[in-house]
Amino acid sequence: MIGAAKYGARVAGVAAAAERGEPDPARDRTPEGMELVVADVTRGEVDRGRVVEYCHATVVAGFQRRSAVARLSGKAAVVTGTSRGLGREIVLAFGREGARVIALSRDMARGEQVAAEANAAGGEVVFQRGDVTQEEDIVGAIERCQAEFGGLDILVNNAGILGEGRLHETTNEQWNQLMAVHMTGTFWGCKHALVAMRAAGRPGAIVNTGSILSFTGDGYLAAYTAMKSGILGLTKAIAIDYAADGIRCNCVCPGDMETPMIDEYFAGTEDAVAAREEMESAYPGKRIAHPAEVAAAVVYLASDEASFVSGTSLVVDGGLLAKTY
C-alpha cells in the first residue's frame, strides 16, 4: 500500500505533469501509475478529459517498448480483423513480443499500413486481405502461416462488427450478417486452426474476442449480445474437448474501448457527447479502455505464461462488472 503522504505527492506530481502536457518523470509509463491518476480524477481534483488523454498516451508509450524477453518468440500466429481498433493493437503487440503474424482484414489499405507499422518496429507481420465470412479466406490465412512460418501456434479470432437496434427492429439481414462475422467466422477459425494444430502435434492457443456482453445484456444491442455470449460458450466447449491435444482456448472480454467502433456507436445516438459522458461515468475509473490495454491481455493468453489457463474468460473492463449499481 502507498502511504498517504507518498500518495499525495505522487498525485500532485502526476496532475502537474498532466496539466503541462508532459510525462511524469517520477514513474515508469505503465498502467500501475495510471491507476493513481484515475483515482484522483474521480475526486474531481483534476480535469478529467485532460488526464484521461494523458493516461492513454502513457499507457501506449509503456506498451510500445519491446520486452527484454519476447514472450511470443518463435510463435506463428493468425489474427483476424486487424485493420483498426483492437485488432491493430494486437498485431502491434504480437510483433513487439516476437510473434510472426499473418494479419487478416478486408481493408487492404489500412491492413497493410498496420503491418508496415509493426514491421518498422521490428516485427514480422504479413498482411493478407480476406473476409471471415468466407471460409476459404480463413483457410488461406492459416495455410499461408504454415507455409511462411512453418506452422500455426496461435489464432486470434478478433474480427467483429457492431449491430445496433432493439430485437423487434432487427432485420433478418442484420442478424445473419452479425452471425456470419461473429459466430460463423469464429467457428471456421477455430475449426481450421484445430485441424492444423492437431496435425502438427504441438501445443497451440486460440483466443476469441468476447465482450462484457458475453455476461450481461444490452437491449439496444440484442443481436450483438447474443453473438458475444455464443462466442464464450464455444470457447469453453473447445477448451474442454481439445485439452488432451495441448490446445488451449480462452476468451478475452473487454469493456468499451477507444476504437472506431465505439465512435460509430456514439454517432448513432441523439447526443454523442452526452452518450460518451454517460458511458464513461459508469466505469469506476471514469474512462473507457485504450485497446492496447486489452491487447496486453491477449498477449498473455496466447503466451506460454498462460500454459494452464484454458476455457476461461479474461475480463478487461476497469472493474465495471464488479459493480452492483
- Give the residue numbers annotated as catalytic, written as ranges: 224
* Nearest alpha-carbon partner for 251 in 208, 282, 309, 302: 208
What's the Rg (C-alpha) of the chain?
Answer: 20
Sheet with strand 154-157: strands edge to edge? 124-129, 100-105, 76-80, 154-157, 204-209, 247-254, 313-316
Give CA–CA dist 63/65, Å, rounded. Answer: 5
CB atoms within 10 A of CB 172: 7
Give the single-character DSSP code of 180.
I
What is the phi-psi region of residue 21: left when phi exceeds 0, alpha when psi lies from -120 to 50, beta otherwise?
Answer: left
Residue 68 near residue 33 (C-beta atoms within 8 A) = no
**Beta pairing, strands 154-157 & 100-105:** unpaired
Residue 225, C-alpha cell as written in the block: 449480445
Give CA–CA dist 114/127, Å, rounded. Answer: 8
Question: H or E element: which one contains 103?
Answer: strand 100-105
